[in-house]
Homo-oligomer: A and B are copies of this chain.
Amino acid sequence: MDLTEIGQRAKAAAAYLNRLGVAEKNKGLQEAARSLVEGEAEILKANCMDMDRARTAGMKKALLDRLELTPGRIQAMADGLMQLVALEDPTGEVLSMKKRPNGLMIGRKRVPLGVVGIIYEARPNVTADAFGLCFKTGNAVILKGGSDALESNKAVVHWLSKGLEKSGIQKDVIQLITDRNRETTRHLMRLNEYIDVLIPRGGAGLIRTVVENSTIPVIETGTGNCHIYVDEGADLEMALNIIDNAKTQRIGVCNACESLVVHRAEAKRFLPMLWKRMEEKSVEVRADAEACALVPGFVTASSEDWGSEYLNYIISLKLVGSLEEAIAHINHYNTGHSESIITNNYEHAQKFLDEIDAAAVYVNASTRFTDGNEFGFGAEIGISTQKLHARGPMGLEALTTTKYIIYGNGQIRE
């Protein structure tokens, strides 16, 4: 099937989905979840083919781990779909309705986006996850997963579709692009006539490619060079625990802390404490010359370190002389994700919250909380680091738009 046909089918499916009630959508999710578990053996078999091919091609261990499916992971995909059943459907709500002086009643109603395109890497669990979020919000979805996971994705989509069919849902609400050609992906990114929004899910390279090549509006889910600033007079024990948590509780996630900024006045007391804890946790500290002079174990940072998202057991450290200097440094190097100040100073806390330009700005807490579940959204499509449409963790609402509905009785414009 060519892309134009896929697009036409998706557009028709979106109109159909828009007419579907929440009970029908929930039934579809339940059947799709059941069907995934039912198809376990076949999905695992397909995944084995992908794994074998990837191993032969010399894929790295971390990527192989992401590609691999197990009965537990299939169950987790099914559980994810079931969790969506319990969440409120955001579509259909009328956010406001007002009467204008001329008698027109103008309201704003939350509606599905329409057709959502998802471009992702070789992680077959994203297939079920992205489908579920789009379906719950009444959007048709076109999936383009990493080629290395093609057999797995085909099997997952097959069993999801089987479940949908069982509950009487049209099959075009989910479509997978099975073409391995790179040109197809380029074409997909310019299919403005049929796709309303494109969401890349994956690493920095994938996201950059989509941002640079898509003519369809993109929701950018981004990288995180997250900072923690230890202010003068901060509770240093608290600072240490928060830094430890933000750096090491989970390495390799976008809300992990990558950069420290420390007020000079606390350097002598704090840096040795920090050094000890980081050494215990095998974290290399790349610091400026002044900090290195205080702690010989620190490694001298290069200018590239300030802007690096390591996703590894490394953290950068810079000393500053004032809150203003800290804010300027962070606003220069951050990626608009999550930044935290550790302070006891009221004015400083407010100033940091006001002036740091990022999706989530914290006082006295770990950056690791930037997450849909931690924010209480129940589900998450990703964390937006752009400023249009959605910023920060995106729940189901990020997959909706609004339209104005206007009730008149013959009004014409004077």
Contacts of A249 in B (CB 8 A): 412-413
Complex: how many Å from CA A374 to CA B242? 51
Known: A217-B387, A238-B410. A106 touches B404 (CB 8 A): no
Q: Which of A220, A368, A386 has the most CB of B within 10 A?
A: A386
Contacts of A196 in B (CB 8 A): 386-388
Q: Could you mark each residue 345-362 of chain A with 1 if its beta carbon is under 8 Å from any beta carbon of chain B, else 0?
A: 000010001110111111
Complex: how many Å from CA A410 to CA B246? 12
A178 touches B (CB below 8 Å): no
Complex: how many Å from CA A244 to CA B407? 19
A308 touches B (CB below 8 Å): no
A406 touches B (CB below 8 Å): yes
Known: A15-B357, A354-B18, A410-B241. A391 touches B401 (CB 8 A): yes
Q: Is the CB of A401 within 8 A of B387?
A: yes
Q: Which of A360, A362, A402 has the most CB of B within 10 A?
A: A362
A61 touches B (CB below 8 Å): no
Contacts of A409 in B (CB 8 A): 364-365
Q: Could you mark each residue 1-25 of chain A with 1 if its beta carbon is under 8 Å from any beta carbon of chain B, else 0?
A: 0000000000000010011000000
Q: Would you mind naming 26 contact pairs between A and B with Cβ atoms under 8 Å apart?
A: A15-B357, A18-B354, A18-B357, A100-B375, A104-B365, A106-B376, A114-B357, A114-B387, A196-B387, A196-B388, A197-B387, A217-B386, A235-B410, A241-B410, A242-B410, A357-B403, A363-B406, A364-B408, A365-B411, A366-B413, A369-B406, A369-B411, A370-B404, A388-B389, A389-B389, A391-B404
Closest B residue by C-beta to A218: B217
Question: How many copies of the shown chain assemble into the complex?
Answer: 2
A192 touches B (CB below 8 Å): yes
Complex: how many Å from CA A411 to CA B362? 10
Extra pairs beyond A19-B354, A114-B357, A368-B412 (6, CB < 8 Å) = A15-B355, A244-B412, A249-B412, A358-B403, A369-B411, A392-B404
Complex: how many Å from CA A407 to CA B342? 11
Complex: how many Å from CA A29 to CA B401? 33
Contacts of A245 in B (CB 8 A): 412-413
A405 touches B (CB below 8 Å): yes
A317 touches B (CB below 8 Å): no
A45 touches B (CB below 8 Å): no
Contacts of A166 in B (CB 8 A): none
Interface residues in A237-256 (C-beta closer than 8 Å to B): 238, 241-242, 244-246, 249
A398 CB → nearest B CB, Å: 10
A211 touches B (CB below 8 Å): yes
Q: Which of A219, A353, A360, A388 has the most CB of B within 10 A?
A: A388
A170 touches B (CB below 8 Å): no
Closest B residue by C-beta to A103: B365
- Residue in B361, B403, B404 whose beta carbon sits within 8 Å of that of A375 in the complex: B404
Q: Is the CB of B404 within 8 A of A217?
A: no
Interface residues in A244-275 (C-beta closer than 8 Å to B): 244-246, 249
Complex: how many Å from CA A402 to CA B403? 20
Complex: how many Å from CA A94 to CA B212? 33
Q: Is the CB of B211 within 8 A of A375?
A: no
Contacts of A354 in B (CB 8 A): 18-19
Contacts of A392 in B (CB 8 A): 402-404
Contacts of A75 in B (CB 8 A): none
